[in-house]
Amino acid sequence: MTTTLNLPEADLSPLDEARAQLRGAIDFLELSEGKYQMLANARREITVSIPLRRDDGEQEVFTGHRVQHNFTRGPAKGGVRYDPHVDLDEVRALAMWMTWKCALLDVPYGGAKGGVAIDPRNYSPAELERVTRRYTSELIPILGPEKDIPAPDMGTDENTMAWMMDTYSVAVGHTVPGVVTGKPISLGGSHGRREATSRGVVDVALAAMESRGLAPERSTVAVQGFGKVGRGAARFLWDAGTRVLAVSDQYGAVHNPSGLDLPALEAHVDRTGSVVDFDGSDSLDRDLLLELEVDVLVPAALEGVLTRENAPRVHAKVIVEGANGPTSAQADQIFKDNDILVVPDILANAGGVIVSYFEWVQGNQSYWWSAAEVEERLHTRMLGAWEAVTSYARAHDLSLRSAATIMAVERVAEAHRLRGLYP
């Protein structure tokens, strides 16, 4: 009989989902209520107002957040997202998941996350630079290569990181490349960082497919999201021989039952800015992409897209979470009942933080690795984590998500035990 951790009775917010997962791990490990309270709450949070003088002289004010969930195992680490729906609870949840991700992959960081409630599509590069620099200047007291190291996330990129690095460096009086990761190569970034999360997703996707007897050349996939993670994941799965039947972005979705031509689709997106109206495909409702008859589903957009409402209509044999928190606890239970293998986010999309760690290490050593070296080290770490999680899951009769969360929480709790409580 499969062990079932405590589950909520309905779909929850991302923060409540994260805390429910933590509660299940705490109960399984028989840790104290005090330990749960310590790990359920962030160590430090800051919310700032970000005034912007627009190019036409008008002024707007945005709200930004930075949450440092935990830094017992090392400096805080986590992305910065620009999205109009950013709020503090979302950032809290993402920071907590980042803590578990770092612990699971044995990267010496704690979890953090940041965000600004802004739609970057509506602002010029110069305006986004001003927003970034003001946001960074407000956070300078809590940032640093030994304190908190931001990285790109939804709506941000290597240019954002360059602005953050420069703002911090000017403030402290000398160049500090290690204050961020995901920087341009010319400013100390690492080869392979841009596509690292996508490569990690595909590394574990192929391993998960093999565990279910799915040969890539005879398998089909649908990818929700065609941004930083989804685009690379679709391309690398296509390179591996799978037929990518459908992809989506924020504007719509496209579908071809014979398989999409990924290089042509990428050229179309580069030219038009969206997957919509791609020749050789039919338009598809974005939500219906999740319910297609495919072997592998990669949700690589937002959290909370797989719920108790649509989970019974999901037909994929394997779900690989490219996004953070895309699956509710109730959906998880439905997938388990339907024998659908779910590779959890803290394992599947950990490639980005692994190569961020590589970038940080390279920066500290002032010695740079080749793209091939980075990809090989990433592949080794991802498959090592996959083997560890699947072995733990088998040994304890757990889902992969429960196993991954329990392993991560146990490592963080042990670090707390060894360090003790001050004062």
How do residues 5-64 score in pLDDT, each as one tens digit? Answer: 455 556 788 999 999 999 999 999 999 999 999 999 999 999 999 999 999 999 999 999
- Residue 353 in any domain: the answer is no
- Specify whether the CB–CB gap between 254 and 268 falls below 8 A: no
- Residue 33 in any domain: the answer is no
Are 140 and 52 within one domain? Answer: yes
State the sign of the Cα–Cα–Cα–Cα dihedral 143, 144, 147, 150: positive
- Residue 153 in any domain: the answer is yes
Are 203 and 122 within one domain? Answer: no
In CATH, what number is assigned to the domain containing residue 236? 3.40.50.720
State the sign of the Cα–Cα–Cα–Cα dihedral 121, 90, 347, 419: positive
Are 262 and 203 within one domain? Answer: yes
In CATH, what number is assigned to the domain containing residue 145? 3.40.50.10860
- Residue 91 in any domain: the answer is yes
- Residue 383 in any domain: the answer is no
Are 153 and 280 within one domain? Answer: no
Are 170 and 244 within one domain? Answer: no
Range of the domain at 102: 41-177
Backbone angles phi, psi at 157, to 5 degrees: -155, -170
Are 92 and 159 within one domain? Answer: yes
Describe the crossing of helices 351-365 and 196-211 by its angle, rounded to 10 degrees.
130
Are 329 and 252 within one domain? Answer: yes
Contacts of residue 326, defined as CB under 8 A and 6 or more positions apart, other chains included, come to 299, 301, 302, 303, 304, 305, 306, 345
Are 96 and 227 within one domain? Answer: no
Share of the chain above pLDDT 70, in %: 98
Residue 293's CB is within 10 A of a number of other CB atoms, namely 10
- Residue 188 in any domain: the answer is no
What Rg, from alpha-carbon coordinates, does the chain have? 21
Measured between alpha carbons, how far is 423 from 414 in angstroms, rounded to an integer? 18
User: Which of 110, 142, 177 is the last residue in one of the domains?
Assistant: 177
Measured between alpha carbons, how far is 160 from 94 in angstroms, rounded to an integer? 19
User: Which of 343, 367, 397 is the last residue in one of the domains?
Assistant: 343
Are 70 and 168 within one domain? Answer: yes
Question: For the chain, how many structural domains are there in total?
Answer: 2
- Specify whether the CB–CB gap between 200 and 382 falls below 8 A: yes
Are 55 and 103 within one domain? Answer: yes
Within 133-290, strands assigned E span 148-152, 220-224, 243-249, 252-255, 282-284
- Residue 352 in any domain: the answer is no
pLDDT tens for 316-368 read: 999 999 999 999 999 999 999 999 999 999 999 999 999 999 999 998 888 89
State the sign of the Cα–Cα–Cα–Cα dihedral 408, 414, 415, 421: positive
- The H or E element that residue 36 is part of is helix 33-40
Are 209 and 326 within one domain? Answer: yes
Share of the chain above pLDDT 90, in %: 94
With tokens 């195992």, the residue in question is: 73
- Residue 4 in any domain: the answer is no
pLDDT tens for 158-191 read: 999 999 999 999 999 999 999 999 999 999 999 9
Within 40-134, strands assigned E span 44-53, 59-68, 76-82, 110-116
Helices and strands in the chain: count of H runs, count of E runs: 13, 12
- What are the C-alpha distances in Å from 113 to residues 84, 87, 317, 352? 16, 11, 31, 14
Task: Please pick, among 113, 183, 228, 317, the residue that the annotation labels catalytic.
Answer: 113
Mean pLDDT for the stretch of residues 279-302: 95
Name the residue type at position 171. Answer: A
Active site residue 228: no
User: Which of 343, 360, 380 is the last residue in one of the domains?
Assistant: 343
Mean pLDDT for the stretch of residues 73-92: 97
Phi-psi category of 366—alpha, beta or left, where left has phi over 0 and alpha has psi -120 to 50? left
Backbone angles phi, psi at 179, to 5 degrees: -75, -20
Are 64 and 129 within one domain? Answer: yes
Residue 108 has pLDDT above 60, yes or no: yes
